[in-house]
Amino acid sequence: MEPEGPKTAEGRRKAGKAAKAPEPVPVLPVDVFDSHCHLDMLEMTVAEAVEKARQAGIRRIMTIGCDLPSSEWAVKAASEHPDVYAGVAIHPNDTKGLTDDVLARIAELARDPRVVAVGETGLDYYRDHASREEQQSSFRAHIAIAKETGKALVIHDREAHDDVLRLLDTEGAPDKVVFHCFSGDAAMAEVCADKGYVMSFAGNVTFKNAQPLRDALAVAPLDLLLVETDAPFMAPVPYRGKPNASHLIPFTVHLMAEVKGVPVEELCSAIAGTGSRLFGFPEG
């Protein structure tokens, strides 16, 4: 016998809606921040994104540039919103034909006090939008800009771990290095920990098939962790497949705390401390 269900079309419709109701977003006990977001790509205003994030315990948002227009946009957004900060750079996928004039403008933007990071830069061997030589030349230039300005270097590393680490060694890594949307395994996490590189985890760490990422998170030191959205991409479970935004970070934080075996409050405090050390954010 089939189980008893709604007797009418209206009942079935209401039951279907109830089954698909979004899970409430938990509020974090200690303010943290979204270390990597693309506010220019969201389907909401900056003010709306900031307010929704604040209600979930996300105090600050770093909006990241991927090319010159988005980097200039990020600086403008940060200048207009006190809880928004900027990162400026040319994404490795956009380095084909990159000119010295564009890099000079990125260096100029990086000196702005609302800019706290040079990124996202790095290497992406998954796509072939630019040659490896072009990407590596750009990465070297961004490493130099980060060192010159004293800003944190935010790295995009996709299927290029060995070359990213090699270039950091040969060029001399800045004092502050962040691997955005960390994609390495536990062995890579141990290398980063030995070098003092910060690892930022995104919503994909909550995915069912992301056990290697959770293994990496497990061995990463608490004081070398950040959390991010990379919004509008990679929304965490239970919002996977939907547009991401900073206010969904608590789902990632709760999973991270579970993997680390620490209370959520302790992890939040550690993330806040790393934000203070890397970006100058007040911890209170």
pLDDT in tens, the chain (284 residues): 333 333 333 433 343 444 455 789 999 999 999 999 999 999 999 999 999 999 999 999 999 999 999 999 999 999 999 999 999 999 999 999 999 999 999 999 999 999 999 999 999 999 989 999 999 999 999 999 999 999 999 999 999 999 999 999 999 999 999 999 999 999 999 999 999 999 999 999 999 999 999 999 999 999 999 999 999 999 999 999 999 999 999 999 999 999 999 999 999 999 999 999 999 998 76
- List b or e across 125-158, with b for residues whose CB sees 16 or more CB atoms inside 10 angstroms: beeeebeeebbbebbebbbbbbbebebbbbbbbb
Neighbouring-strand partners of residue 195: none
Three-class secondary structure of residue 124 per DSSP: strand
| Pairwise CA distance, residues 54 & 60, whole Å | 8
What's the predicted TM-score (pTM) here? 0.91
pLDDT of residue 3: 33
Structure tokens, 75: 């600086």
- Residue for token pair 């999973």: 255
| Pairwise CA distance, residues 177 & 117, whole Å | 9
* Cβ contact 152:174 at 8 Å: yes
pLDDT of residue 254: 98
* Cβ contact 31:57 at 8 Å: yes
| Pairwise CA distance, residues 100 & 89, whole Å | 13
pLDDT of residue 20: 55
Structure tokens, 140: 């070297």
pLDDT of residue 10: 42
pLDDT of residue 22: 73
Structure tokens, 139: 């990465």
| Pairwise CA distance, residues 145 & 261, whole Å | 37
Structural domains of the chain, with CATH: 27-279 (3.20.20.140)
Structure tokens, 109: 């933007």
pLDDT of residue 75: 98
